Amino acid sequence: MSRTYLVSVLVLMIVLPCEAVADTDDGQWQSLFDHKTFDGWQPNERPENWTIEDGAIVGRGERSHLYYQREQFKNFEFQAEVMINEGGNSGIYLHIDHHPEGWFFDGHEVQINNSHADPVRTGSLWGVVKLYDTPVKDNEWFTVHVMVKDQNIVVKVNGKIVVDYTEPEGVPGPRRLNKGYIALQQHDPGSSVRFRNIKIKKLP
């Protein structure tokens, strides 16, 4: 192999980004976002509020929810890197039905909020487990890791467990674990949220 060819190959390896690898087998991580397109994702309203910038999904403007529509999930681990602006509000929804518009309260919402007027902070299960101290800062990337196994939800923020919730038997709802879609929330015109490196691992 010539020296020129070797250098060219190395340059390509450094410059070209790694493509997301989808592995749909249980127990393997599957990328849900290719960093370039909304393939698999669909907003329920106001599609103009979602863009892709610098390899991240960005939500701005009035209320909208961006659904991953290829599959519904029951037991899984979900992970994403998130950044939100000062005063911003967002969330990651789990086990929800498809809703064409409006606010909804089925499944669970992992709150993304460090300084919004709503005092329930990042990592909370909105309406169920409320945290009033944020573990992260505005305008900085942080990792949200959620594990759902039967009636248990564990939420980690930057590797630290902030919620470990087991749903009581016979809970009346509407916040209940069952099976459903994952969706990302854009909350209000004052909020700007970013998501990247979004992936899931299906569990038995």
Quote the CA–CA distance of 29 and 48 in Å, as a whole number.
30
Name the nearest CA neighbour of 82 among 48, 51, 59, 115: 59
pLDDT single digits (tens) 37-61: 999 999 999 999 999 999 999 999 9
Residue 85 has pLDDT above 80, yes or no: yes
* Sign of the Cα pseudo-torsion (63, 68, 71, 73, in order): negative
Say which CATH class 21-202 falls into. mainly beta
| 26: amino acid identity, one letter | D
Domain boundaries, the chain: 21-202
Q: Say how far residue 128 (Cα) sits from the centre of its chain.
A: 18
Mean pLDDT of all residues belonging to the chain = 90
How confident is the model at residue 45, as a pLDDT?
98
Say what the pTM is: 0.87
